[in-house]
Amino acid sequence: MTAYGEMSKAQLLEEQKSLMKAYEEVKAKGMKLDMSRGKPGKEQLDLSMGMFDVLPVDHEMVGEQGMDCRNYGVLDGIIEAKRLLSEMMECPTDNILIYGNSSLNIMYDTVSRSMTHGVMGSTPWCKLDQVKFLCPVPGYDRHFAITEWFGIEMINVPMNENGPDMDMVERLVSTDPAIKGIWCVPKYSNPSGISYSDETVRRMAALKPAAEDFRLYWDNAYCIHHLYDDDQDVVLEILEECKKAGNPDMVYKFSSTSKVTFPGSGLAALAASEANLEFIKKQLTIQTIGHDKLNQLRHVKFFQSYSGMRAHMRKHAAILRPKFEAVLNVLEREIAPLGIGTWNHPKGGYFISMNTMPGCAKRAVALCKEAGLILTAAGATYPYGKDPEDSNIRIAPSFPTPEELTEATEVLSLCVRIAAVEKLLEA
């Protein structure tokens, strides 16, 4: 293959003609595949079906603390569940609060409480003239949706191979009291797959915010979601690092088992300092008497221990690896020689982040849709849906089969090639 940048206009026109012929043939096949979200596939969901058998009707539903899990009570979660998730989240049980089924729900509630009641005695955000959040990009669209919903101004912070641009983060956080938080996915980031370096975590923990109510919104969504046994990223534990740096209250750490057991039916948790948790619990008592303790008990009985959870995740990895490799193999074959795109090679998480030539992502995603392949909307990985380069495409390999992914990535590659040729012909 000849790199597109080295082709003459005549060669590009001939290539365009050939590509459009292939595209019409693809459309005629009538593909129908939705890859817009990072949903676990059926094989992954089947791994947790044994959870329905661990609490038979004659089972004792009383937890270690003597609490009947069928009844009201235990605001912060049964001790067995706290112990299990504290190992997953790498922090003490005293710093864990078990919620319901969704970490996204916890993040929404945390922002909402800050808007209406402030943070540990600070002025409620709704009474301030301006509230801002830092948003590492490309990033998680649902994070951005939360802050946009509450009218919070979002500021793009570029990601590099070590995490967010910390020079920019330090400068903005230390000088602008309107900046109240930063969204972080520290391990296998959505969508880039980047894990924060030790230096990045330490600099995050040592921030000197101008706002006393500034918090790190540390979404540890993929903390145990490795693809390989022998090559795994390790990220420093942020609560401990904040404590060392003299900022024990500066972080909210979120996680869940949504992509461990059943999305929408898992366990979600918040980890934070004792002072943060005390403040949150006062408000939580108004919201609920307690979350689903039977589901907490069910997870504990199913996994037995954290080692059981790790063994379970190795089964997930065995299903996901061929899917990621199917996508990467096609991109290497169809796009790499042409010099019209780059992508990450993640060691874990749920996404592959691809960057096309500037100005090509929306066109490529639209062409895919017309051919029957639905991808995450171009621009979704940036606040307000506005990718300034119009280049980032989030690929979610988890739901389709490896065979479907090979075909889908061939369609994506074809559409990226068409968009690139059109852009070069405009020049």
pLDDT computed for residue 282 by the predictor: 95
Question: Whole-model pTM?
Answer: 0.96
Q: Which domains does the chain have, with CATH numbers?
A: 4-44+310-426 (3.90.1150.10), 62-304 (3.40.640.10)
Please say whether the beta carbons of 416 and 360 come within 8 A: yes
> What residues contact residue 325 under an 8 Å CB cut-off, 6+ apart?
402
**How many angstroms separate the CA atoms of 207 and 121, rounded?**
21
216-239 burial, b for 16+ CB within 10 Å, e for fewer? bbbbbbbbbbbbeeeebbebbbbb
Please say whether the beta carbons of 35 and 396 come within 8 A: yes
**How many angstroms separate the CA atoms of 207 and 247, rounded?**
8
- Whole-number percent of the chain with pLDDT over 90: 97
pLDDT computed for residue 174 by the predictor: 98
pLDDT digits (tens, 9 = 90+) for 314-361: 999 999 999 999 999 999 999 999 999 999 999 999 999 999 999 999
Region 278-297: mean pLDDT is 95
Predicted confidence band at 259 (pLDDT cuts at 50, 70, 90)? very high
Predicted confidence band at 266 (pLDDT cuts at 50, 70, 90)? very high
Number of Cβ atoms within 10 Å of the Cβ of 259: 22
Region 267-275: mean pLDDT is 98
* Both structure tokens of 66: 């003597």
pLDDT computed for residue 49 by the predictor: 97
Q: Is 405 exposed, middle or buried (0-12, 13-18, 19+ CB in 10 A)?
A: buried
pLDDT digits (tens, 9 = 90+) for 102-112: 999 999 999 99
**How many angstroms separate the CA atoms of 260 and 44, rounded?**
9
* Both structure tokens of 336: 């790499």
* Both structure tokens of 73: 């009570």
DSSP string, 2-69: --GGG--HHHHHHHHHHHHHHHHHHHHTT--EEESS-PPPHHHHHTTGGGGGSS-TTS--B-TTS-BT
Region 204-214: mean pLDDT is 98
**How many angstroms separate the CA atoms of 394 and 79, rounded?**
38
pLDDT computed for residue 200 by the predictor: 98
Which secondary-structure segment (H or E) carries 87? helix 79-89
Evaluate if residue 413 carries a pLDDT over 90: yes
Number of Cβ atoms within 10 Å of the Cβ of 285: 11
Predicted confidence band at 416 (pLDDT cuts at 50, 70, 90)? very high
Please give the mean pLDDT across all residues of the chain: 97
pLDDT computed for residue 59 by the predictor: 80
pLDDT computed for residue 360 by the predictor: 98
- Whole-number percent of the chain with pLDDT over 70: 100
pLDDT computed for residue 58 by the predictor: 80
pLDDT computed for residue 222 by the predictor: 97
Predicted confidence band at 202 (pLDDT cuts at 50, 70, 90)? very high
pLDDT digits (tens, 9 = 90+) for 88-97: 999 999 999 9
Number of Cβ atoms within 10 Å of the Cβ of 165: 17
- Residue bearing tokens 């403040």: 279
Evaluate if residue 17 carries a pLDDT over 90: yes
pLDDT computed for residue 427 by the predictor: 79
Region 279-299: mean pLDDT is 95
Beta strands 373-375 and 33-35: pairing type? Answer: parallel
Sign of the Cα torsion 263, 264, 267, 270 reads positive
Sign of the Cα torsion 284, 289, 295, 297 reads positive
Evaluate if residue 1 carries a pLDDT over 90: no
Region 230-257: mean pLDDT is 98
pLDDT computed for residue 57 by the predictor: 83
Please say whether the beta carbons of 168 and 214 come within 8 A: no
Q: Is 59 exposed, middle or buried (0-12, 13-18, 19+ CB in 10 A)?
A: exposed
Identity at 175, one-letter amino acid code? T
Region 111-128: mean pLDDT is 98
**How many angstroms separate the CA atoms of 158 and 136, rounded?**
6
Region 133-145: mean pLDDT is 98
